[in-house]
Structure formats: C-alpha cells, structure tokens
Structure 1
C-alpha cells in the first residue's frame, strides 16, 4: 500500500494534488510520501516485535537526509556502504551506535572516520579487510566490533546484477571457510567478533532462499559458539522485493519474513538486525514527468517525456518495469493505446517502456513513474549536462523541496579550466 491515490480526478500524494506540486517545482521531480515511508518501516518493526532487534534502513536505496531523519526519529538504524553515506547518516542525526558499515571495499580512511565517529559494527567481507581494520583500530586505540559476512552459496532467484549470495559473487567469505576466518579474527588485536552477517540479494519475491540461507547461519552459529566465539548478533540482510508490475503478484510481506526469521534463528537468543531498503522506499516515491511531444513513428507512437535515463536509470540498466500512470485520472471507459515512452537523452537505451498501454496523451500532460523511490534519485546523474532532478516530500497537506534542482550555471561553474588551456 502507498499514499498515491486519485482524488477528484487528480493523482494525489497524501493530501496534496501532484499537479500543484508540478506547477510549483517544475518537472521532472521525485516525490516521496512520508506516511508511506513510516508505514513500511513500522511493518518490519512490528514483524520482529518481542525479539531483540534493530531495523537498519539500507540507505543506498534513497539517502536524502530528510528521509534518514524521518526514519531515524521512528527508531531506525542505518546500513551504510561508504564514508559519504556514513557522514549523511550522522548529519541526519543518526547516532553511531545505530549505524552498521557494510561493503567489500572499505578504505583505511573510511575505517578511521567511522571508528572516530562511532559505529555499531563493521560487516567485514574479507581477510585482507580484517587485517587492515585491526591495524587502523589499534593505531587509534580502539577495538572494532565486527560481524563477518558469510557467503552461503544460495541462489536468491533475482536479477543477476543484484544477486549477492552465490559463490561466484564478490561478497563475503565462503561458508566452508568460516571457522578458519573467525579464528583469524579472534586472534587480531583490534577486533571484537560479535556475530554473523549474511545478505543474499535484492528484490527477492519468495522466502525459500532466505530460509535456506538462515538455516545455514543457524548451524554456523552453533559451530562457532562451540569453537568459543561470542555470537550474540545476527545481521540477516535485507532484499525483500516489492511489486513493480500491476499483475496481481504478491511478494512476501514483512510479517511473513518476520515469521521465517523466528522459525529459523529465533531459538538462538541473538539480537537480530535486518537491512530493508527497497521495501521501505520503493513504493514511497514516484518520478513525475511532463510529455514534451507525441511523435508518430512508422509503426508506433512515441511519448517523449522530460524525464530521462539519467534521472531514472533502472529501465535502461536492468530492463526494470515501472508502472506509468497519468496524473489526471482517465475517464471511465477511456480508450487506451500503446506508446513507447522515451526520454530526450541521445541514446536508444533512453527508453522507459515499449508498447505501454496509456490513455490518449498530449504535449503538456503529466505522468508518474510509480515505485521509483528506491534506486531512483540516488542513481541519477548529470549525463548530457542535465541537472539532477529535485526531490520533494509530502506530509499530509504539506510539501517541501528536500533537494533543489541545480541551475545550469551551478553545473558549469564546477568545472575548472587550467591556465594553460
């Protein structure tokens, strides 16, 4: 469920007509519903009620500080994967003891920044990283709390580019080597082992892969405890999928996911962390765009809009589907026809949809790309020297720009021409 609904013939975000926002902000722009963000966070929090747990929002999905502050004030922690994300989280008021630092390529500078600023744990991904982290921690007089990310060799049955838990993926330690790697970690002076981390992929639409991975984690927990390691925390990752297509598909709910966690690892007495991102932010955001032209092709019509692949790259990068809806509600019985919906970037890959049924559209009409809150604005670029689109958040009958659109002068003035040119 989200809070983007037609009312009086116009698509609204909560209690604000989107046409009004477009007139004030200009198109294209990202639009988030604060009520949807909070509702989705609470679904996960409720699903683990009664268990010692922390919901660490995977902020790579959408990292505007307004979103982070909103979720942080509701009790969320953060899963970060760079110094930039860590700094954003702290700037949004998230305390260090609610931030976990993931990622395969943490640098010495990032480790130092995070250790000085405060951190809940490092999710360590390799033996070289482990040794470097120990050296940095010792040099600062710190002990770094760590979980070790285990690669369980489980197929998440998702897109190849967002699968992270198979043996050929770059993430984690092979589970068959876990005991020797944990022994190394225990021997390093700057580290304190506190648990196990696992994350098998994103946009999972069934629970079976989670079940297989968590069974392996439960078995490993018992083995490592028998070896003398303190395993008090399990970071179980995230990746629960959302329905991008209006085809009656129903991915598992947070309640289903929570029940599985209780079944597979609830008996271990560990604190549970999960790292949802897409499920919280995906359906909480849309991209609003205006039709520039309707172009007649030889065998099709093109809907040329002012949003482009640099604004929302998922269709070009993953072949991803986003529902496209007009901001003005079609009249009952309105005829639909197929359009190729494309942007103005000079690449054929700048295509959002082919043959998509829509009511008759005209230049100046507004459309919304639904389920664009996750991996939309954060993956945007200034390709073709197009300004990054603004981000807007709605709260009830109020809206605010939470990231302004830069001017062309802002973009161009960042360039530095050396004197010798």
Structure 2
C-alpha cells in the first residue's frame, strides 16, 4: 500500500497535501506516515503468527523517538548497536527486556548500562567480547544472556558496503569456529547461552541467501545440541529489501518467513526455537520521503542540472551507495516540457546528487519528493558545509506533527568554544 497517494495530480501524505506541509514547515523536510510504519511492522507480526517470536526493529534505520514510540506501542522489540540507541528506546517507551544488542565494538560502559536495564540478550561478535561481558556481568552480580553472531560466509548479493555475511567482513564469528566459543560461553558463570544470531546483509531482494544462511545455522544448532548446548532462539537478523526501483521484487515478510517456519517445523529438534528477526529498512523506508524545493535549473552544453535545497548531507545514500530513489514532482505539471537532468544539491562535492539522468517536468520553485527515504535518511544526515539538518514530520491521518524541529544555525556551534585570548 502507498501511504503517499496522488489525488488530482497532487501528492498527499496520508490525508494531507504535501504542499501544505512544505508551506508550514519549509524544505528540505522528511515526511513520515504513521500508518506506513505500523503496517510495515504488522506485516512481520502476521508473517510470524502462530510461532513464538520477537520482532526487534533495527533502530539504526530510523531512530526518531516518535517512530520508536509508534512501534513500541505495537509491542516491538528493538535491535540496537550503541548505548545511545538503547537510551532512545527507553525514552520512547520501549522495553529493555525486548532489546538485543548487536555490533562489533560494544564498550564496557555500554555493556554495564545494558545489564543494568536488563536487555533480552547480547549478540556477541568475538571471543574477546564474550570475556568482556562476563567480567562486567560478574562485577554487577548479574547473568548476561548471549547469542553468538555467526558469519556463515554467504554472499548476500547486495552492495559490498552493506554485505555482512562473508568471511572477509568484520561482523560475526566464523561459523566453523563458533562451537568453541559456545563451549567457552557455557562454562562461564555469569553467561547464559540463549541462541544463535546471523545477519548477512541489507537490501536483499531474493530469499535464496536467507535460506542458505538458515540451513547453515540449523546445522550449527544440531552440532551444539550434540555438545549438550541447547539453544532457545534463532535470530535470523534483518536485511529484507524493498522495491526502490520498479524492477525490484523482494519477497514479502510472509513469503520469506513462511519458508523459515517450514524449515523449523520439519525437524523435532528445531520446533522449540523462538524466531527473532531484526527488520529495519523493510519497515521504515517506504514510510518516509524527503521533500525538497527546486532552486534553479542549470543547463550546460552537455547536461542539465536541477539544483535543489536538499543535499548529500540530508540524504547520503545516493552519494555513498549510488542508491536509487524515485524522484517526482509533488504537483504534476503536464503542461511543461520534460527534461533529462541530474538532481543535485548545493554542496561543494561532485558526489552531491540525489538522482542522475531523471526525466522530470519542473520549474524553479517546484517541490520534488524523494521517495522511499524513511530508512537511513535522517539518521545518516550531517552538518557538512555547515548546513542545518532538516525537520522531521509525522502525518497521522489528517493530523500533522513536527517530531523534530529544523536545526538552527546556532545549534551547530552551541557546544564549541573559542580559544582564550592571549
């Protein structure tokens, strides 16, 4: 379902014209649909119905407090990679007992805080980290639940920067050496071995890599059972892609997770495993867009450039991943001639573009919508070129809420100081 429909040639956010939102809050601005986030999460609930599960939304995809609160109210757990994300979850009304803590570089103070709050488990990514968690748990007189994130050496067939399941990637523990880590974990007095975790990459558009990784995980589960280590949950990570372009047809959560449940149900040794998933992009991406204004159109002998007021500091994905986002006028202009152009920002970098070779009918002052920008949009934004970060707006039916005000110039240097005189 599209939560940003067209009505009479004009783009809406749920029941509100996007032009009205831009007029009230300015551009560039991120606009989110509450219904979009809710339906994205519910798709996973429906897919896992009838099987014990925990859906841990990946906070890094979009960490706005309003977004986290909407999902917490639906019963979401959360996948975090820093104590900052943990504190955001708590501030947004999330439950620490539904949090899994991932990431290769957990600091001691982060581990302590997670133990104090009582998170669901740590996804450990090295034997060194296991020993660190044991030490911190022992010092606090607590038992830390852990899953071992294994690296199954599965090619996710995605962009190399977001592929995480190959042996050359920094993530996880080689699945071949994982049994020794589990054995050590089982011996430690302040560690509870809870499960196994695997995340092979992001923006996957076919089921095959997921199922390949799953089959390797289940072999490990069986090997550990033979060692006397009985796991309670299977964390299959996230990474399910979305259709940024029309030709992309990723599986739905039901199509993918239906096969996972079939695999588990096929063996008496696997039926007891709770399923943990960590979706981010597939919940958030299509629930948001970036709206920007056309500043000017620059025509050279070789190319046309549509210069807008959004830039790579607002939406970084095109610059670092050559990522595609559909770009369309907020108001259809059928009477204007269509031009082939690059949509670029004002930042002093050749890589500052939102889209290349786009056919658009537009003029100075028009509004453009950069679609599917609800994930890894604002969260990756910056103050590069001393630009202020945009506002974030959440639309709920016919209600419009500013969930983050536009940054002001003085906010940028509020924590900076001059050197003393002399």
Category of TM-score, reference length = shorter chain:
over 0.9
C-alpha distance in 2 between matches for 1:110 and 1:126:
16
Matched with 2:143 is 143
Tell whether 2:306 aligns with 1:303. yes
Matched with 2:204 is 204
C-alpha distance in 2 between matches for 1:141 and 1:321:
49
Matched with 1:290 is 293
C-alpha distance in 2 between matches for 1:334 and 1:3:
27
Matched with 1:173 is 173
Residues 309 and 343, structure 1, Cα contact 8 Å, conserved in 2: yes
Matched with 1:397 is 398
CA offset digits 1:89-114 (Å, max 9, x no partner): 01111111111100000010100011
RMSD, aligned CA? 1.1
Matched with 1:221 is 221
C-alpha distance in 2 between matches for 1:406 and 1:158:
34
Matched with 1:348 is 350
C-alpha distance in 2 between matches for 1:264 and 1:336:
51
CA offset digits 1:371-411 (Å, max 9, x no partner): 10000000000001101111000000011110111211222
1:315 alignment partner, one of 303, 315, 318: 318
TM-score (norm 2): 0.97
Consecutive unaligned residues in structure 2, runs of 5 or more:
none
Shift of 1:420: 4.4
Shift of 1:152: 0.5
Shift of 1:156: 0.5
3-state secondary structure, aligned to 2:71: helix
C-alpha distance in 2 between matches for 1:49 and 1:410:
46
C-alpha distance in 2 between matches for 1:355 and 1:95:
45
C-alpha distance in 1 between matches for 2:376 and 2:259:
27
C-alpha distance in 2 between matches for 1:367 and 1:298:
25
C-alpha distance in 2 between matches for 1:111 and 1:36:
33
3-state secondary structure, aligned to 2:129: helix
Matched with 1:278 is 281
3-state secondary structure, aligned to 2:61: coil
Shift of 1:335: 4.5
Shift of 1:334: 6.2
C-alpha distance in 1 between matches for 2:301 and 2:356:
14
The 5-angstrom pairing of residues 243-258 of structure 1 reads 243-247=243-247, 249-258=248-257
C-alpha distance in 2 between matches for 1:59 and 1:223:
32
Shift of 1:220: 1.0
Matched with 1:75 is 75
CA offset digits 1:223-250 (Å, max 9, x no partner): 1112111301111100000011133x31
Matched with 1:261 is 260
Matched with 1:326 is 329
Residues 235 and 274, structure 1, Cα contact 8 Å, conserved in 2: yes
C-alpha distance in 2 between matches for 1:219 and 1:300:
55
| Residue-pair matches, total | 418
Residues 214 and 265, structure 1, Cα contact 8 Å, conserved in 2: no
The 5-angstrom pairing of residues 19-168 of structure 1 reads 19-168=19-168
Tell whether 2:18 aligns with 1:18. yes
Q: Which moved more, 1:257-266 or 1:44-53?
A: 257-266
Matched with 2:191 is 191
Residues 246 and 323, structure 1, Cα contact 8 Å, conserved in 2: no
C-alpha distance in 2 between matches for 1:262 and 1:3:
30
